[in-house]
C-alpha cells in the first residue's frame, strides 16, 4: 500500500525554484537609479490591435549607466510606445528623436529608495507565502499517505525533507531580498 510512497521532491523543488524566479523577475523591474533594459519588461503597448510588450516593437539598449534607449522599428508606433512608457508609472519622462526614444534615468532620492525597499520586501513576502503554500501541498500529500498506511518513521522522514526544502528556499528569498535592498540603497 503506502510502503512504496515517495514524495516527488523534484516537483516541489522545481515549483519553489519557480517562486524564486518570479521574485527575481519582480526585482528586475524595480528601478535602482541605474539603467536596465529589464525595467521596460512590464510595459505593454496597444499595437496592431493587441497589447504587445515594448521589446517586441523595438530594440532596447543601455548606451550609458543612466540612459535606456528604445529604437522602435515601425515609425507609426513611436508615439504609442512613448505614451505607454510615460503612463507606465516608472517615473521616467521619454524623449523622442526620430524612431529612437531616450529614457534618462533620474537619480533616486533617499525617500524614494526607502519606498523601493518596502516594495521589494512585499515582493519577497509574496515569494515566502508561495514557498509555504508549496510546503503545505507537500505536507498534505504526506498526510494522505499516512491515512493510506504510511509508517510513522516514513512520515517523520518525509516531513523533515519537506521542511528542509522549505527552509532552504525561504533563506534564498531572504538572501535575494538583502541583495536587492543593498542595491537600492547604494548611492
d(CA 11, CA 26): 23
pTM: 0.69
d(CA 182, CA 30): 13
* Grid cell in block for residue 154: 516514513
Residues of the chain with pLDDT under 50: 1
| pLDDT value, residue 36 | 77
| pLDDT value, residue 141 | 92
Q: Of the candidates 170, 182, 66, 172, which has an alpha carbon nearest to the alpha carbon of residue 117? A: 182
Same domain, 73 and 23: no
Q: For the domain that residue 119 is a member of, what is the CATH number? A: 1.10.132.20
* Domain around 130: 9-27+109-185
d(CA 51, CA 65): 29
* Cα maximum dimension of the chain: 71
- Domain boundary (104, 120, 138) is at 104
Amino acid at each position: 500500500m503506502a510502503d512504496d510512497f515517495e514524495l516527488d521532491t523534484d516537483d516541489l523543488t522545481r515549483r519553489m525554484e519557480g517562486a524564486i524566479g518570479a521574485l527575481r523577475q519582480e526585482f528586475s523591474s524595480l528601478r535602482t537609479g541605474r539603467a536596465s533594459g529589464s525595467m521596460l519588461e512590464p510595459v505593454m503597448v496597444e499595437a496592431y490591435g493587441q497589447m504587445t510588450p515594448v521589446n517586441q516593437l523595438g530594440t532596447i539598449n543601455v548606451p550609458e549607466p543612466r540612459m535606456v534607449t528604445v529604437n522602435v522599428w515601425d515609425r507609426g508606433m513611436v508615439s504609442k510606445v512613448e505614451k505607454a512608457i510615460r503612463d507606465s508609472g516608472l517615473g521616467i519622462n521619454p524623449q523622442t528623436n526620430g524612431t529612437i526614444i531616450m529614457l534618462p534615468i533620474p537619480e533616486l532620492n533617499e525617500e524614494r529608495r526607502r519606498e523601493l525597499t518596502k516594495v521589494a520586501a512585499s515582493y519577497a513576502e509574496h515569494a515566502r507565502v508561495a514557498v509555504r503554500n508549496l510546503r503545505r501541498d507537500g505536507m498534505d500529500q504526506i498526510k494522505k499517505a499516512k491515512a493510506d498506511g504510511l509508517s510513522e518513521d516514513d512520515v517523520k522522514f518525509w516531513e523533515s525533507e519537506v521542511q528542509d526544502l522549505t527552509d532552504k528556499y525561504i533563506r534564498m528569498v531572504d538572501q535575494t531580498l538583502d541583495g536587492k535592498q543593498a542595491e537600492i540603497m547604494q548611492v
